[in-house]
């Protein structure tokens, strides 16, 4: 096999020659002394030769890494040369801000982000019309600040401006990693200079607020679907996006379990939620409203799609005055559930399992027990607590 010592010692000769490494990887030395790594393989029985780069600009370690990646493609039935040509063509096409955003959504966000639709919507609203047609070479900090972020700040949305900045930095980092641009022009732009540092929310609902929330939601201008969804967030402690993307095929009322597939969960881990009697009652009310759609919360647009997260957020915002409690958002319901469960004696690791949080340290590595029975008991106790709050305040 090749080594750096061997590569450095290779001298030019009258004719080009090769020295092999392994698995089809070799280095070719030209009569002028140029040392080129190449991968020789067969695709559909035809011999092929792919140039990987020149030494020492491309190190032996890097060449072997590329070689292994190319072999993996070949094992999947993909011609590495054809794939490289396709990638190059795509890079030539992706020369505007909108194009790199769409590539990021399609190739990165869709397979890895449960809330990719929300991110796509954020780009459509705040980026495409403003700077979508700009070439990547024309994207600068000043451009993004003047045309995207400053208008958001002027309309009183500093937190949203921070979200958009974070998203654009991720997309442009992706662009750098995949060769669409040389550097990220937003690297030095920080939240502190845009919307300011954000304080994490610690809002939880107390007993009187839970009572008002439960009984006053139906007075607000929202659908029955949305009202029941908000109550389920409080009773189950799950995320807004998880209830939005739930299908009836995920809900088993007989077995008393809601299965959240990994593509719907934030951490990309499948999650089972025990359903308390109160949760079953709420899901049953939703099921009674079911039409032909498999979505638990179908969109009212007429398309076979779920209700968006924004619909629930907007409904909650409109309900603030009617419900009659201080400012709250849907995620506060999840925090309330977690805090209240801890308050009635549920062990913190059981609460973490209910929330589908990734366990850190030793717990993550060694503790594979799923605490199912403990979670069933915890959510049943929490449901009884909610019902007790409602009944006590009503009496």
Per-residue pLDDT at 303: 72
* Chosen CATH of 4-79 out of 2.100.10.30, 3.30.160.390, 3.30.465.10, 3.30.460.10: 3.30.160.390
Sequence-distant contacts of 123-130: CB under 8 A, at least 24 apart: 123/167, 126/152, 126/160, 126/164, 127/97, 127/98, 127/101, 127/164, 127/168, 128/98, 128/101
Alpha-carbon span 273 to 355, nearest angstrom: 9
Asked whether the predicted pLDDT for residue 203 surpasses 60, the reply is yes
Q: What's the whole-number average pLDDT of the chain? A: 89
Section 209-219 average pLDDT: 90
For the cut 60, the answer to whether the pLDDT of residue 111 exceeds it is yes
Distance of CA 167 to the CA centre of its chain: 11
Distances (CA, A) of 227 to 74, 112, 189, 310: 52, 30, 40, 14
Q: Which long-range contacts (CB under 8 A, 24 or more apart) does 185-189 make?
A: 185/139, 185/140, 185/141, 185/144, 186/141, 186/144, 188/141, 189/141, 189/144, 189/145, 189/165
% of the chain beyond a pLDDT of 90: 64
Largest Cα–Cα distance of the chain, in whole Å? Answer: 100
Task: Return d(Cα 346, Cα 206) in angstroms, integer.
Answer: 18
Q: What is the mean pLDDT of residues 169-195?
A: 88
| Cα–Cα distance list, 289 to 172, 211, 228, 244, 278 (Å) | 44, 25, 11, 15, 17
Per-residue model confidence as pLDDT tens digits over 11-24:
999 999 999 999 99
Rounded to whole angstroms, how far apart are CA atoms 330 and 297? 16
CATH number for the region 207-394 comes to 1.10.443.10
> pLDDT (tens digit, 9 = 90+) per residue, 328-357?
899 999 999 999 999 999 999 999 999 998
CA distance 293 to 120: 24
Determine the pLDDT at residue 86.
81
393 Cα distance to chain centroid: 40
Q: What is the pTM of this model?
A: 0.61
How far lies 237's CA from each of 167, 276, 383, in Å? 27, 12, 11
Q: What is the DSSP string of 289-324?
A: T--S-SBSSB-TTSSS-BPPHHHHHHHHHHTHHHHT
* CA pair distance 364, 352, nearest whole angstrom: 12
Q: Which residues pair with 35 in a beta bridge?
A: 29, 55
- For 41-49, what is the mean pLDDT? 94
Which stretches of the chain are assigned E, i.e. beta strand? 17-20, 25-29, 35-43, 46-55, 251-252, 257-260, 271-274
Put the strands of the sheet holding 257-260 in their side by side order.
251-252, 257-260, 271-274
Question: Which has the closest alpha carbon to 278: 393, 383, 392?
Answer: 383
d(CA 325, CA 318): 12
pLDDT recorded at residue 365: 44
Token pair, residue 120, equals 């796509």
In the chain, what are the domain boundaries?
A: 4-79, 94-193, 207-394
CATH architecture under which domain 94-193 falls: Orthogonal Bundle (1.10)
């Amino acid at each position: 096999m090749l080594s750096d010592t061997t590569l450095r010692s290779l001298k030019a000769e009258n004719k080009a020659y090769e020295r092999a490494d392994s698995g089809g990887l070799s280095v070719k030395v030209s009569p002028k002394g140029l040392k080129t790594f190449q991968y020789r393989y067969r695709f559909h029985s035809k011999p092929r030769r792919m140039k990987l780069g020149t030494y020492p600009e491309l190190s032996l370690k890097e060449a072997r890494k590329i070689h292994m990646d190319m072999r993996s493609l070949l094992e999947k039935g993909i011609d590495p040369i054809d794939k490289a040509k396709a990638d190059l063509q795509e890079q030539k096409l992706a020369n505007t801000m909108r194009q790199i955003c769409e590539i990021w959504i399609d190739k990165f966000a869709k397979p890895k982000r449960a809330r990719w639709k929300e991110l796509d919507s954020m780009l459509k609203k705040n980026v495409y019309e403003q700077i979508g047609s700009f070439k990547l070479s024309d994207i600068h900090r000043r451009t993004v600040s003047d045309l995207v972020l400053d208008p958001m700040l002027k309309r009183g949305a500093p937190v949203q401006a921070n979200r958009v900045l974070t998203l654009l930095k991720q997309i442009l980092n992706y662009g750098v990693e995949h060769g669409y641009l040389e550097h990220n022009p937003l690297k030095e732009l920080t939240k502190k200079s845009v919307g300011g540092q954000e304080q994490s929310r610690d809002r939880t609902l107390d007993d009187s607020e839970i009572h008002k929330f439960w009984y006053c939601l139906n007075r607000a201008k929202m659908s029955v679907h949305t009202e029941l969804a908000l109550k389920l967030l409080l009773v189950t402690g799950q995320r807004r996006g998880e209830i939005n993307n739930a299908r009836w095929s995920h809900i088993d009322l007989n077995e008393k379990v809601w299965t959240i597939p990994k593509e719907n969960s934030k951490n990309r881990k499948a999650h089972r939620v025990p359903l308390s009697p109160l949760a079953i009652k709420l899901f049953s009310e939703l099921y009674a409203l079911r039409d032909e759609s498999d979505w638990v919360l179908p969109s009212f647009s007429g398309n076979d799609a779920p209700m968006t997260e924004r619909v629930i957020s907007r409904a909650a915002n409109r309900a603030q005055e009617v419900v009659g409690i201080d400012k709250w958002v849907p995620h506060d319901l999840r925090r309330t559930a977690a805090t209240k469960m801890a308050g009635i004696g549920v062990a913190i690791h059981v609460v973490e399992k209910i929330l589908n949080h990734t366990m850190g340290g030793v717990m993550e590595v060694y503790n594979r027990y799923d605490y199912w029975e403990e979670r069933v008991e915890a959510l049943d106790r929490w449901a009884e607590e909610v019902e007790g709050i409602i009944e006590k305040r009503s009496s």
